[in-house]
A and B are shown apart, each in its own frame.
Chain A
Amino acid sequence: MKTMISLYLLERTINFAILKRVYERMENKRGAGMIYFDNSATTKAEASVLRTYQTVSEQFFGNPSSLHQLGEKSRQLLNLSRKQIAVLLNVDNEEIYFTGGGTEGDNVAVKGTAMAKINYGRHIITSVTEHPAVIKSMEQLEHLGWDITYLSVDDKGMISLKELKQALRKDTILVSLMAVNNETGSLQPIKEVGALLRHYPSVHFHVDAVQALGKIDLELSNSRIDIAVFSGHKFHAPKGSGFMYVRKGRKLAPVLSGGGQENGLRNGTENVPGNVALAKAVRLLLENQEAKKENLLSMKNSLLDYLKTFQKVTIFSPEQSAPHIICFGIKNSRGEVLVHALEQDEIYISTTSACSSREQGNVHSIKEMGYTIKQAESAVRISLSNMNTSLEIEAFKKQFSRAYERLTTMEE
C-alpha cells in the first residue's frame, strides 16, 4: 500500500514538473510580447473583475431563490449588481435583466417579441448586416410563418430611413438593428430610427448594442429603444455574462421556460458571480468614459493614417464608425493569410468576425456594403480595447509593413 501511494505521489510530482516546464516555455513565448487586437471577438478579463468572480463564487455561492441567509445574501448581491448597472445606464432596476450574453439576449429580443406579440402581427424588420444571432433567429421565424423584411445598407453600412419607413406596416411588431456593426464598426442611425418609430408606438425597437457600450453614446432612458442587448466578455467581464435592457411595460416571452428567475424572462439559476463581476466590469468600463473613447480613437486614427500610406490597402470601415474597429484588406490577398502572417509575430487580429471567420466566404457585412466578394475576402479586422497601448500600435505598424511587403511581393 505504502509503495503505491509513494508511486502515485512520484508520478504526480513528475507530471507537475513537466507541466511547469511547458507553462514556463509558453510564458516566454507569449506573455509580454503578445499584441491582442481582437477585442471585438472577446476581451481579456480584468484582474479585479476576476477576483470579484472568485470571491463571490467562494463566499456567496447560495442560490438567490433559497430562503436561508446564504441565499438571501446572494439575492442582495444580485440586486445590488442590477442596481449598479441600472444607475450607470440611467434606467430603472427592473429594466435590467441578466442573461448569458449577446447571442442569448438577441434571441430573447427577437423570438421573445415574436411570441409575445403573436396575436398582433407577424412582420419584422431588420437589416442585412445584423449579427448571426439576429439573422438566424429571423430565418427560424421565417420558417414558422413570420414575414421578415431585410433592409439593405449603403456603402457606409447604414440602412436608409426612407426604406425603413416604407417597410413599416400595420402588422409590424419589431424593428431590430445593431448599434455598431461587429465586422466594420459601421453605425446605424439609432436616434433617427427611434424618432421615426415614435409614430409607431406599438412596434418593439430592439438594438443589438453588444459592440456599443463604452464605445459610442447610446442613450436608453429617454430614447425610443425598447430592448438593448449587451455582452460582458466584450468589455473584460467573464464569458457567459451579459444583460439586457427591456423598457418597462414592454412584454417579452421567455425563450427558456423555468423557475421564474429574472422576472420570468430569463429562467434558470442566476449566475451570481458572473453577474456581480459583470456589474463591476460595467462600472470600470464607464469610468472616465470620454477619455477612454478619446484614447481608442487616437489609437485608431494613428493606425488608419498609417494603413492609408499603403497603396494596396483598402479601408472598409466608413469614416464615421466606432472608435475601436478598423476593417481593411490588402488587395488580392486573402484576409486569413494576413491573420496568420501577423500571428507568427504574436499579433492577434481577426478576419471580419470571429463567429463566422471559421466558415468560408462568410463576410456578409462588407459584401452588403457594395464591395466585391474578392475584396470582401481580403478583409481583416483590428479591434482595440483600452488595455492596448500606443507602444503596441507602433509595434504593430512595424510588423505590418513587413507582412505587407511579404504578401504583396508573393502576389506579383
Chain B
Amino acid sequence: MEITEIMVRYGELSTKGKNKKKFIKILYKNITNKLKRFDGLKVSYNRDRMHINLNGENAESVIEELQEVFGIQSFSPVIRVERSVDAAKEAVIQLIENNYVPGMSFKINTRRSDHTFEYDTNEVNRLLGSVVEEHFKNIHVKMKNPTATIRVEIRKRGIFISVDTIKGRGGLPVGSGGTGMLMLSGGIDSPVAGYLSLKRGMRIEAIHFHSPPYTSPQALKKAKDLTVKLSRYAGELTFIEVPFTEIQEQIKKVIPEEYSMTITRRMMMRLTDEIRIKRNGLAIINGESLGQVASQTLESMAAINAVTNTPVLRPLISMDKIDIIDIAKKIDTYELAIQPFEDCCTIFASNRPKTKPKMQKVADLERALDVESLMQKAIENIRIQTISTEINEQNEIEKQFANLL
C-alpha cells in the first residue's frame, strides 16, 4: 500500500458558472508552480477534480505544499492496490483502522471505469461493506453524512482507494481576482491584510515606504522577509520600495506636529495610488482596523482617503487585535513583525496626533508642501523587486560567499 495519487477538490469554484474553466486553469497553474520542485509529478484536471500523480514523490511534502494553495476545498491521498477484491478488503480495513472511533458510521462509494472487473459497483459496495462490519464491532453503515466515506475506484491499472479528506485552505485561486496594492509597513497587521486579500484570489503587490537613514536596512529587510512569507501563498510577489525620506523631512519642517501624521498618510496614499495606476492595479489594501491607533479613527480614515477615488480595501477593519495576531501566527509572520525596528510610521511620530482631523484644515496646511514635485521625485526612484521564496534570497548571499566556504 502506498499513496500514489492526491485528488484535489475545488470547492467554491464549482459554483462560478462560466468562469469556472478559467478559474480551474489558474488553480492548475498555481498548483504546478507550487509543486515545481517535485520533478516526477503529473497534474491533470477535469471539471470536478484535479489529480496529482505522485510518481514516487513524497506524499507528505506534496500535501504540505498543497495546504498553502488557495482555491482548494479539500484533497485526499489515494492508495492503489492490485485489481483484486481481497486486496481491496485488506486496504479498506486498514484505512478504517487508522481512523476508527467506536460508534462511527461509514459508507463505501465505488466507481468502476473498468467494466471488465468481475464485480459491479453494487457488489463491490456490499462485499467491502460487509467485511468492514464483520471486522469492527461498533460500526454501522450510513448513506447520508457518514463519519467516513471510503471511495473505491476500479480502473485498469488497479483499485484506487481513499478515505482521509484533508481540508484545503479554501478561498479562490490567486490571480483570479485582479491586482491590489498592499501598503506593507512591517507591522503585524499589513501582512495579515495581504494574506486575506490573497485568499479571495487577488494578486497583490507590496508597497513599502523607506526613509533612510531614519529607518534602517534591517527594517527594509524585515518588510521583504514578510513578503517572502506571503509569497508562499502567492507564488511570486512584487515588492516596491518607495523612498520617503525627503517627504518626511519636509513634513516635519512645514506641517504643525498634530497634523503631520494625517498628512504623511495622505502622501503615502497618493504615492500608492500613483504606483497603482502605473502597475495596472485596481485597488489599494491596507491593514487598518477601526480605532486601533490615531490614524485609524473613522475621521482620520476619511481625511486620508480623501486623496483618491480608488477603492481602499481594509480586510481587518472589524477585527480585534487578538484575532489579527492569531492569523499572523498561523501564517508565520508574527515573530518577524514584532522585531523592534522603527518604520516610517513611527519616526517623527507626534505625541498628540489629531484623532479627528478637520478636512479643510488638512487641505489648507498641505499647501505648504510642494506635493507634485515631492511625489514625482519619489516615484522616479522607486525600486521594484520580485520576491518569491526564501531560498532565492538566501542563494544570492550564499553565492556571494561560496568561494570562502
Contact = CB atoms under 8 A, between A and B. Distances in A.
A81 B405 CA distance: 7
A80 B397 contact: yes
Given A67-B216, A72-B217, A283 B404 contact: no
B405 A280 contact: yes
Contacts of A67: 216-218
Interface in B199-236: 216-218
Could you tell me the dominant secondary structure of chain A's interface residues? helix
B401 A77 contact: yes
Nearest to A276: B404
B397 A76 contact: yes
Interface string B382-402: 000000000000000110010
A65 to B, nearest CB: 12
Which interface class (under 10, 10 to 19, 20 to 34, 35 or more) fits B?
A: under 10
A283 B217 contact: no
A172 B218 CA distance: 45
Interface string A241-281: 00000000000000000000000000000000000100110
B217 A55 contact: no
B404 A55 contact: yes
A77 B401 CA distance: 7
B404 A52 contact: yes
Nearest to B402: A80
A127 to B, nearest CB: 36
B217 A56 contact: no
Interface in B343-388: none
A221 interface: no
A56 B218 contact: no
Given A80-B397, A80-B398, A276 B405 contact: yes
A80 B217 contact: no
A56 B217 CA distance: 22
Contacts of B404: 52, 55-56, 77, 276, 280
A21 B398 CA distance: 44
B405 A283 contact: yes
Contacts of A69: 217
Nearest to A56: B404
Contacts of A72: 217
A84 interface: yes
Contacts of B216: 67
B394 to A, nearest CB: 9
Nearest to B397: A76
A84 B402 CA distance: 11
B295 to A, nearest CB: 28
Contacts of B405: 52, 80-81, 84, 276, 279-280, 283
Contacts of A77: 401, 404
Contacts of B397: 76, 80
Most buried by A among B218, B404, B405: B404
A71 to B, nearest CB: 10
Contacts of B398: 80
Nearest to B221: A72
A63 to B, nearest CB: 15
Interface in A361-396: none
Interface in A285-311: none
A283 B401 CA distance: 14
Contacts of A56: 404
Nearest to A59: B404
A276 B217 CA distance: 24
A395 to B, nearest CB: 35
Contacts of A81: 405
A273 to B, nearest CB: 10
A191 B397 CA distance: 38
A76 B218 CA distance: 13
Nearest to B398: A80
A77 B399 CA distance: 11
Most buried by B among A69, A76, A279, A283: A76
Nearest to A72: B217
B390 to A, nearest CB: 13
Contacts of A55: 404
16 contacts: A52-B404, A55-B404, A56-B404, A67-B217, A76-B397, A77-B401, A77-B404, A80-B397, A80-B398, A80-B401, A80-B405, A81-B405, A279-B405, A280-B404, A280-B405, A283-B405
Interface of A: 52, 55-56, 67, 69, 72, 76-77, 80-81, 84, 276, 279-280, 283
Given A67-B216, A77-B404, A280-B404, 10 more contacts: A52-B404, A55-B404, A76-B397, A76-B401, A77-B401, A80-B397, A81-B405, A276-B401, A276-B404, A276-B405
5 closest Cβ contacts across the A-B interface? A52-B404, A76-B397, A280-B405, A84-B405, A279-B405
